[in-house]
Amino acid sequence: MRRQRLSWTIVLFVLLGLALPASTRAQGVADPDKSDDPISLETDPLEARFGGTRVSFEDAYGEPSKPEAGKYPRGDDYQIDGYKRVSVFYHEDRIVHISLFAPADDFWTTKQADDARADFLPSDAKLGTAVETADGEPLVRAKSKALAEEIEQEIYDTYKAKGKPGDLSVTYQLDKRKRVKAIDVELGRVSTSSQNDADAEKTYLKALRGQFDVLAASMDVFEQTLAGVQDGSIDAQTGFQRLLTAWIVWRQADVDAKTLKPPTSQQGTQDLYLQLTGLLATAADEFQNGLVNNDSSLLQSGDTKYAQARLFRILIQSTLEGAGV
């Protein structure tokens, strides 16, 4: 792009008149008749837990309280001491979602919720650091080798669960007093608030880049056209048609810019872009009306606004390049 400032007003005058168209379970209690035999410590980390089978879960907790299962993620309801209810959803006999509900008259503290979930997570689960979901609720991600061996990627994909086999997430649902009223255990890696923000930023910046590139190209055409008219390489009629096309792009860019939905972190960038498109849209009107009406003041005003717009173009370009978009 030519960076040399041209006197657009003078060149436009050339066109004038020329072209205006929790607890661990007992593990292998020794048989009193075989007290000398070693006790096996080998247990299934998923037995009666998330990722385990319906048979193992119902051996531990009994049959569902209702004959029919609900749709995902609710599944079957179980009445278990210490919980209002426990809802379990099975995929081909394997647990892929558990919801633990606190007693209605006694919601849990975070510590109590930690204890309440313990008996239902894979016993080999490695827990991550507690963070927050996009809704501000506590979230703990975990990994289980045993889970990875039993639940395939295809099943993760079926439930639109992000991550890889072995990934699971524990989310606490809070009441207005920040007490835990329910716990959800599900496949995959639930997005944190920071991840959602990052995704929103990326989506916005990509959309901005798409609009900005079209606008920047039209500015290049505008400057190249005026330079061509000035040095005689572009005739007046062709030049005027090219300018009209550029001005149409500027006006449409100002309309399209208002459809972008920036996250809070990118509002400043959006404000800069709106200033850029607003200046160009106004400049387009002033340039065109100045030519049609032989009004030098409009042409000079358009020239000033275009010069300001070039500065905003540089700022937007730097922002996009800095973000790697």
pTM here is 0.52
Per-residue pLDDT band at 37 (split at 50, 70, 90): very low
Q: How far apart are CA 131 and CA 141, in angstroms?
A: 9
pLDDT of 63 over the 90 cut: yes
The average pLDDT across 187-203 equals 75
Q: Greater confidence, 263 or 275?
A: 275
Domain count, the chain: 2
Supply the pLDDT for residue 14: 53
Q: How far apart are CA 123 and CA 112, in angstroms?
A: 18
Which of 191, 217, 239 finishes a domain? 191
Which of 191, 208, 233 finishes a domain? 191
Q: Where are the beta strands (DSSP E) in 188-297?
A: none
Q: Is 84 a domain residue?
A: yes
Q: Is 19 a domain residue?
A: no
**Within this chain, do residues 174 and 96 fall inside the same structural domain, yes or no?**
yes
Q: What is the H or E stretch that residue 252 is in?
A: helix 236-257
Query: Which CATH number goes with the domain that contains 230?
Result: 1.20.120
**Within this chain, do residues 143 and 73 fall inside the same structural domain, yes or no?**
yes
Which residue range forms the structural domain that includes residue 86?
54-191
Supply the pLDDT for residue 26: 38
Q: Is 77 a domain residue?
A: yes
Q: How far apart are CA 303 and CA 325, in angstroms?
A: 30
pLDDT mean across residues, the chain: 86
Which of 144, 168, 191 finishes a domain? 191
HEC per residue, 112-140: HHHHHHHCCCCCCCEECCCEEECCCCEEE
pLDDT of 9 over the 70 cut: no
Supply the pLDDT for residue 32: 39
Phi and psi of 88, rounded to 5°? -130, 130
- Number of alpha carbons in the 13 Å side-chain half-sphere of residue 96: 24
The average pLDDT across 54-82 equals 94
Tell me how far CA of residue 319 lies from CA of 15, 199, 209, 259, 266, in angstroms: 36, 17, 10, 19, 10
**Within this chain, do residues 104 and 79 fall inside the same structural domain, yes or no?**
yes
**Within this chain, do residues 179 and 71 fall inside the same structural domain, yes or no?**
yes
Supply the pLDDT for residue 302: 94
User: Coil, strand or helix: which one is 249?
Assistant: helix
